[in-house]
Structure 1
């Protein structure tokens, strides 16, 4: 478009558009809509000799879409309202473990169910420096973004401080970390740019979840915010291959979204978000941009090239950081963060561990059942492999739990545990109330409980890991009140559709449990949705499920004392009870005393004990402190610290002190010693446990 003497600001004012859009027309980066071209004809100086508006050749409209890609920043609100950040992003910490959980859950929910193949998720950390970083900044049109970043970073509020740190990392250290999340055999960002659909739900909207399947893990529409929360620059680029065509295309649908706080740039006020895309000639606002179908060269420059034509989406987090990883690194000798190589390695390993911890069940196969998910992590530096791709293996991260689920899927479970390596199965009831007052929605669901012996690398033992249809770990909890001498075990509770296709009321259980989960999807309990859709007391059904589960575990793992394994007696010879008083105190009332003690040395080398306490009835409450010491041949017994203390039954734990309420006769507590405080290995010494009255006497 060519003009003659008219100021760009005057032209923008005449047409009711922004100066930036006029500049795009004059630089041939965009073409005006026909109605705007007609209005331009009325402006003196914009007519050629034939009296027509002079637009640079018709071929400009046939240029590749990338030539007209621009940033559109949402204008400030007319009513003066201001948002200093995306509230949804504050629901989660900028933690790679949280990101891995939320992003992988979304990919798992979007698995293409037209086939029986797993969804494949790959995380790629990519550090850019030097010329590689410079080329990437050019590709994202950094010169257009920089004034907005400077304005946002100058604000003294949380988002501004995060952005300021991101700018220093990139500009002063010439370093930028990208984190790409690719999924394959997924649905992709299908649907219109603005109307209801997956694309609009992710790119345009907040707090909208387009998941109609009750087995889906997400339900709040908050999980996607972790992508932007993980970016110090608030910037995420997307490349999607669609499972169903849109506008006649399926491949390389690109869009970028930037989340910044309210800001003022060159005298204009902007509300917050911005989008990278192609100007939409059909939008009411001529500046609005939409997604575009990119060529392979553009995709490569943006580091968004996908490895295959399988449907799914690649999310590129620009300026990725991990609060927890930085905290683990600590400062170096100069007071700065640890070196970058270690940081990349920590981030890599945290992603691997998070995937193994939360999605081991989704990655487990058995019998004719394929896994629902495959996941891997790799790390690059300037396009060169730095840490090779590491596939997450559930048998490595959760061997006992994975063995239990594999036996269920293969149909090789047993009714009772009689041999090493077996998996016992039973069912527990979940009574589902009516939903929204609808008849036929209530009934008894039978959840599947699996129990097997604990093995190395399983972490904490004697726990129940619960999940539903998408097989993401929802919660892990201790089983209270286990008999002394119980063999270490792991238990898995499969509810809803995870219990199998023939489980009664599986769909109803899915919806009920999904309604009981908070945005983090990390427990089942009372929520506002559960209260509204079912009843104020509906959470009691979940408490009953927990009680039934613990009772069933007791029945499967309890060992009569006469059948305790012979190894227990060998260990017991190295255990001593101490701290019994030699005289009565408080008149005629004896303090609580240790009556029985069972212990094993766990894989980490720690003593894991279960202790029974005998309490004399009557009198006032007692406060007693368990103390662990190592038995030595001479000299004072070294005191070791507790890594963990758990009040199991008839007592409470507060700041390391056991409280025994009046009327208690017997109580049980558990403890695990802190290996770092052991002067010698547990296998080379004995253990003495004392129960000492806490200072302060009566509770």
Structure 2
């Protein structure tokens, strides 16, 4: 038989699990204490007949002792360990990392798929496969699952938290109410395959400890083209649970303790609480007590048997390495208002699993279409799918995300690049034009000079099915969309297009300066990884002005797009100028801008595009002519809801982002124009909580407020 773990470490752990000393084992099997010590230290191994007596003493069979791929069944029972309060009586009333993101399945899809891409087995040419399973348990099915994870031991903790007048307490109370009144529980499981799995020790540095034991530990290698860098993304998994509870089953790519299959653990994230005479710090872990821990109370992962896996709804479909995260009490705030009578009953206070499914599919297609695209003999980096179950029965079949359906034009562009079929200039409808955009990547430490990087710009026609036209999306190594913005200041003779900018390792491993750009752009991403801007890491590693290289890149990329999409005058259709004048109305400049030559002119809001988006907000793109006013002049976009009579109610911005030619200050809520900028563009999203009515039922008036007047 092929043995797993070395005999000595395995036997030492079994003695701890059984609460047995070396002397007690020696007495039971009738050998000397020195013999047992020699086995544990690896200086000797027991004879075959002695192994039989060891198995009897440990309450197991001889095969288990010979193979040593599992622990004996005489170990301590699986249970929950709750961290006691800090010695200085400090309190954390929630996991701050979880509040960095909204409880939104679109955010969850983005973060978990990014992590799975980062953990894709590097030696494999196959994609990492990620599957999302929404499983609604009701009645007896729910109670059997709760019994398997020792719900009776958790309920007093939840009740204590629900009584607290804190945000986490209110969320937990809503989750408990939904379980009790409707007798249902929503599970959301995220499985990845062909990934590394949670390797490493329970406590020492490694993937397992980074995910299960620690906060803000991404455990990512600095040199690779990875997405994550903050160690915050995993918090979205717990943040999507109303109960703060996640169970984990991992198949390891590297053996730990001689095994790879069914490494199981649970983690509970709750705030400080008092339950009876126990005062607890917050987190708790579901596992087997570790005899080596203080008082033998701390729990660690265990190698679960098949029946345990089934009861906990953690069974994996294959022996491929990877990890399954089971989110218990999953919910999605954005799905609450998207329910239909066919999906849920009127009294349902939770999100519909079908609405959650739709949002997952949409998010995966919008953010990872490029990672799902293969070409040039290379397989896609990612495959993703979603399915829905109710009490073990499939109610919505598994659907794999198809990048050609979700993003047909952009997928065509990336595939042409991978296949090597791009052209310099488009002459046919389906041609993909390619152009290099050089970025000067700064050197670390503020050193003078830089590393030139050749980013790849791809432009193709827009399909009718595209939800937005004339946009430039940008990404780096793992091909997750980081930036998606309209190209500003386009002339009226442009045919609808889509543009893709591949940076870093996404431009190809042989692209000039690819690794330097990967490092730089990764440092320029906030925790959401949805833009490139000034960050604390960027300023510390490079310089306080390093972010200007990004503004230059965006400006050069937009200029390159215009060069590829503007129709030469000889090819313009007849009447083009007349049509342009009929369809485009420019804002009338203020009177002061027509004053004597040399007099300062005020900023003008020249162009505005706005539309309602899925979150219920208005998304606004604006273009400003900065004029010649001093920088100290106040200039800020504002939004009002259009009304037939009376004053238009002002709504707040949820976010404002400077795109080109300007910077945005959160402190004074205003724009500052870059010296010499002839145009400035920004993107803003309204705060739906300040809307008097739904965005889809209203009109929006956007104004630019300055120190003296408003420009409409």
TM-score (normalizing by structure 2) = 0.75
| Matching residue of 2:138 | 129
Quote the residue 1:352 is aligned against.
Answer: 361
The 1:425/1:71 distance shift into structure 2, 3 A limit, reads: same
Matches within 5 A, 1:613-632: none
Tell me how far apart the structure 2 counterparts of residues 31 and 60 of structure 1 sit (CA, whole Å). 9
2:522 to 514, 523, 526: 514
Q: Give distance in 1, aligned partners of 2:513 and 2:544.
A: 21
> Secondary structure of the equivalent of 1:68?
coil
Alignment check: 8 A CA contact 2:81 2:286 kept: yes
- CA offsets per residue over residues 508-558 of structure 1, 9 Å max, x none? 110011011111111111111111111111111111111111111111111
Deviation at 1:501, TM superposition (A): 1.8
Specify whether residues 577 and 161 from structure 1 end up closer, same or farther in structure 2 by C-alpha distance, changes over 3 A only: closer
By how many angstroms is 1:329 displaced? 4.0
Once residues 627 and 577 of structure 2 are traced to their aligned partners in structure 1, the CA distance between those partners, rounded to angstroms, is: 28
Which residue number corresponds to residue 540 of structure 1? Answer: 548
Contact 1:65/1:293 (8 A) holds in 2: no
In structure 2, relative to structure 1, the CA distance for the partners of 1:396 and 1:675 (3 Å cut) is farther
1:237 aligns with 2:217: no
Residues 17, 290 of structure 2: 8 Å contact kept: no
The equivalent residue for 2:376 is 367
- Match of residue 419, structure 2, among 410, 413, 434: 410
User: Any stretches of 5+ residues in structure 2 without a counterpart?
Assistant: 1-15, 26-55, 62-71, 610-620, 640-656, 665-670, 684-693
Aligned to 1:298: 308
Provide the C-alpha distance between the structure 2 equivalents of 1:177 and 1:107, rounded to a whole number of angstroms.
23
- Note the alpha carbon deviations across 1:166-225, whole angstroms, 9 max, x for none: 111112211100000000000000011111100000000110011104311000000000
SS in 2 for 1:318: strand
Instruction: Using the TM superposition, give the Cα deviation of residue 588 of structure 1 relative to its aligned residue in structure 2, in angstroms.
Output: 9.0
Match of 1:221 among 231, 246, 251: 231
Alignment-derived partner of residue 258 in structure 2: 248
Matched, 1:315 2:351: no
Change (3 A) 1:109 1:589: same
Instruction: Label 1:259 to 1:580 Cα distance change in 2 as closer, same or farther (>3 A).
Output: closer
Structure 1: distance between partners of 2:408 and 2:75: 49
Q: Residue 331 of structure 1 contacts residue 338 of structure 1 at CA under 8 Å; is this kept in 2?
A: no
Residue of 168, 180, 192 corresponding to 1:171: 180
Aligned to 2:79: 70
TM-score (norm. length: structure 1): 0.76
Instruction: For 1:134 and 1:183, locate their aligned partners in 2 and report how far apart those are by CA, in whole Å.
Output: 27
Find out whether 1:550 has 2:544 as its counterpart.
no
Residues 532, 124 of structure 1: CA spacing in aligned structure 2 closer, same or farther, 3 A cutoff?
Answer: same
What secondary structure sits across from 2:247 in the alignment? strand
Pick from 149, 174, 181 the counterpart of residue 158 of structure 2.
149
Tell me, which stretches of 5 or more residues in structure 1 are unaligned?
1-28, 39-56, 600-609, 627-645, 654-658, 679-690
Q: CA RMSD in A?
A: 4.8
What aligned pairs does 1:413-428 form with structure 2 within 5 A after superposition? 413-428=422-437
Matched, 1:207 2:209: no
Q: Kindly provide the CA deviation profile for residues 396-440 of structure 1, in whole angstroms up to 9, marking residues without a partner as x.
A: 11111111000000000000122101110001111112213689x
Name the SS of the counterpart of 1:474 in structure 2. strand
What are the equivalent positions in structure 2 for 1:383-402 lying under 5 Å apart?
383-402=392-411
User: What's 1:602 paired with?
Assistant: none
User: In structure 1, what is the Cα distance between the partners aligned to 2:376 and 2:111?
Assistant: 29
Count of aligned pairs between the two proteins: 610
Q: Is the 8 A contact 2:446 2:543 kept in 1?
A: no
Q: CA distance change for structure 1 residues 617 and 277 in 2, over 3 Å: closer, same or farther?
A: closer
What's the offset of the Cα at 1:338?
5.1
2:389 aligns to what?
380
* Counterpart Cα distance in 2 of 1:551 and 1:377: 39
CA radius of gyration, larger in = 1
1:92 aligns with 2:101: yes
Q: For residues 219-276 of structure 1, what are the alpha-carbon distances to aligned partners after superposition, in whole Å with 9 as ceiling and x for unaligned?
A: 0000000000000000000000000111110000000000111111120111111101
Check 1:271–1:500 CA distance in 2 against 1; reply closer, same or farther (3 A cut).
Answer: same
Query: Whole-Å Cα distance in 2 between the matches of residues 573 and 498 of structure 1?
Result: 40
Q: Distance in 1 between matches of 2:587 and 2:534?
A: 43
1:370 to partner: Cα distance: 1.2
**1:121-152, Cα deviation, whole Å (9 max, x unpaired):** 00000000011101001100011111111111
Distance 1:648 1:102 in 2: 24
Is 2:124 the partner of 1:115? Answer: yes
Whether 2:453 is the aligned partner of 1:445: answer: yes
Question: Would the aligned equivalents of 2:81 and 2:297 in 1 still touch at CA under 8 Å?
Answer: yes
Shift of the 560–611 alpha-carbon distance from structure 1 to 2, 3 Å rule, reads: farther
Distance 1:31-1:433 versus aligned 2 partners, 3 A rule: same
Task: State the SS of the aligned residue for 1:436.
Answer: helix
TM-aligned CA distance change 1:199 to 1:612, over 3 Å:
closer
